[in-house]
Amino acid sequence: MTCHTYVALLVVVFVVAAICCIPNFLLFKDYCERIAQLEGRLSEFFKLATDEGGLNWFEIEQSGKILSRHYRKFNDDKLNKMGDELWKWCLLSTIFVVTFLGAAIFVGETACN
């Protein structure tokens, strides 16, 4: 396979992965709203100040707590289901990023030289 084929394949894989992130981003928004309701912090959730990625500080805080499974302390079945789904996607995303970067380095080092 040529360098152009490898690069095109990497671009297609990246685009498919990005499209898969959209429903998970929407699920994350629902998850954060549910946490805010349970903690009585809806005003923090609805603040308009955001970072470059469009997340407010409450959402940034919650993104860090997903991997520690902080949501389990509420004993809420719906929240546990959303949290478990997001936890799985966080792990899969990490694996994907590492694999994608490894493949990109491989293509850059071997196929395109």
What pTM, to 2 d.p., does this model score? 0.74
pLDDT confidence of residue 88: 92
Q: Find the helix or strand (DSSP H, E) in which 15 lies.
A: helix 3-39
Number of structural domains (the chain) is 1
Q: How far apart are CA 80 and CA 34, in angstroms?
A: 11
Q: How far apart are CA 63 and CA 42, in angstroms?
A: 16
Mean pLDDT value across the chain: 85
pLDDT confidence of residue 1: 64
Q: For residues 28-41, give the mean pLDDT.
A: 93
pLDDT tens digit string along 13-24?
Answer: 888 878 878 888
Contact 103, 10 (CB under 8 A): yes
Residue 93 domain boundaries: 3-111
Question: Collapsing DSSP states into helix, strand and coil, what is residue 43?
Answer: helix
pLDDT confidence of residue 72: 93
End-to-end CA distance of the chain: 13
